[in-house]
Structure 1
Amino acid sequence: MSGTRAVVEEFFRRAGAGEFGRLSELFAEEVDWNVYGAEEVPWVGRRTTRAEVADFFDVLRRHLEAEEFAVHRIVVEGEDAIVLGDMRQTVVTTGDLFVSPFAFHLTVHDGLITRYIPYEDSLNLARAFGVA
Structure 2
Amino acid sequence: MSERTQTEQTRALVAAFFQEMAATSGDPVAYLADTVHWDIPGATGIVPWIGRRSGKAEAAEFFARFGDYLEPDRFEVHRIVADGPHAVAIGELRSRVRATGRVIESPFAFDLTVHDGLITRYVMFEDSWRVAEATRP
**Is 1:33 the equivalent of 2:38?**
yes
Contact 1:86–1:102 under 8 Å retained in 2: yes
2:79 partner letter: R
How far, CA to CA, are the matches of 1:11 and 1:62 in structure 2? 21
Q: Secondary structure at the match of 1:46?
A: strand
Q: Which of 70, 73, 86 does residue 64 from structure 1 map onto? A: 70
- Counterpart of 1:76 in structure 2 is 82
Contact 1:42–1:59 under 8 Å retained in 2: no
Unaligned runs of 5+ in 1: none
Deviation at 1:58, TM superposition (A): 1.5
Q: Which of 17, 20, 28 does residue 14 from structure 1 map onto? A: 20
Deviation at 1:71, TM superposition (A): 0.9
Deviation at 1:18, TM superposition (A): 2.3
Asked which structure has the greater CA Rg, the reply is 2
How far, CA to CA, are the matches of 2:35 and 2:106 in structure 1? 29
How far, CA to CA, are the matches of 1:110 and 1:57 in structure 2? 22
2:75 partner letter: F
- Counterpart of 1:46 in structure 2 is 52
* Number of equivalent positions: 129
Contact 2:49–2:69 under 8 Å retained in 1: no
Unaligned runs of 5+ in 2: 1-5
RMSD: 1.4
1:26 partner letter: Y
How far, CA to CA, are the matches of 2:106 and 2:65 in structure 1? 19
How far, CA to CA, are the matches of 2:125 and 2:24 in structure 1? 21
Deviation at 1:24, TM superposition (A): 1.0
- Counterpart of 1:24 in structure 2 is 29
The alignment-based identity, stated in percent, is: 46
**Is 1:97 the equivalent of 2:103?**
yes
